[in-house]
């Protein structure tokens, strides 16, 4: 497996922590996300740039990460079937798209209807720190649920 195909699980974690798993095609950005997210109280539990590996690792993780931070590229859209499968397995999974595609922010009809509810953060106009602030604001408006609440 090449480095870009592997998923790095960074640490062991418990279900009570604010955990996030990242997929982004730019490894330089992933390296920036980890310390900034950590400083904001998020524990990064896995990173990859390959959708199929992302799905495989997600399905293996227990407990599941509270948040999936997903780069979305409208030209390829290759993450769509992966996210649809994740949502079939876990309909309560929280996901946020991070994209440089302004048109996705303005018109979610580019997405399949099953994914149009997912919030979008535009990365081309943000610093990594601003993106993490956006995640915290999304958490305020769309609170992450603990595993106890998911079963209710």
Is it the case that residue 99 has pLDDT exceeding 50? yes
pLDDT, tens only, 50-93: 888 999 999 999 999 999 999 887 555 588 899 999 999 999 99
Show the tokens assigned to 127. 């610093």
- From residue 32, give the alpha-carbon distance in Å to each of 25, 47, 108: 13, 12, 27
What is the CATH number that goes with domain 3-139? 3.40.50.261
pLDDT, tens only, 112-147: 888 888 888 776 655 667 767 777 666 544 444 443
Q: What is the pLDDT of residue 68?
A: 93
Distance, C-alpha 58 to centroid of its chain: 11
Mean pLDDT confidence for 13-32: 77
- The better pLDDT of the pair 35, 135 is held by 35
Q: Where are the domains of the chain?
A: 3-139
How far apart CA 94 and CA 150 sit, in angstroms, is 11
How far apart CA 99 and CA 122 sit, in angstroms, is 5
Q: How many CA atoms lie within 13 A of 86 on its CB side?
A: 29
Three-state SS at 50: coil
- From residue 130, give the alpha-carbon distance in Å to each of 5, 19, 100, 147, 151: 28, 18, 14, 28, 32
- From residue 71, give the alpha-carbon distance in Å to each of 14, 141, 149: 25, 21, 27
Is it the case that residue 109 has pLDDT exceeding 70? yes
Q: From the CB of residue 137, how many other CB atoms can be counted at a distance below 10 Å?
A: 12
Q: What is the pLDDT of residue 1?
A: 37
CB 123 within 8 A of CB 98: yes
Q: What is the pLDDT of residue 56?
A: 92
Q: What is the pLDDT of residue 36?
A: 85
Mean pLDDT confidence for 41-57: 89
Which pLDDT band, with edges at 50, 70 and 90, does 19 fall under? very high
């Amino acid at each position: 497996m090449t480095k870009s195909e592997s998923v790095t699980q960074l640490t062991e974690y418990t279900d009570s922590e604010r955990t996030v798993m990242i997929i982004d095609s730019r490894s330089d950005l992933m390296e920036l996300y980890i310390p900034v997210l950590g400083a904001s109280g998020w524990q990064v539990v896995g990173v990859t740039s390959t959708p199929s590996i992302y799905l495989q690792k997600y399905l293996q993780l227990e407990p599941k990460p509270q948040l999936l931070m997903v780069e979305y590229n409208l030209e390829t859209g290759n993450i769509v079937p992966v996210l649809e499968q994740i949502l079939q397995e876990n309909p309560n999974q929280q996901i946020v798209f991070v994209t440089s595609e302004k048109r996705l922010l303005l018109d979610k009809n580019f997405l399949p209807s099953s994914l149009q509810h997912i919030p979008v953060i535009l990365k081309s106009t943000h610093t990594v720190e601003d993106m993490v602030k956006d995640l915290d604001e999304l958490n305020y408006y769309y609170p992450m649920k603990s595993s106890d609440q998911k079963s209710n």
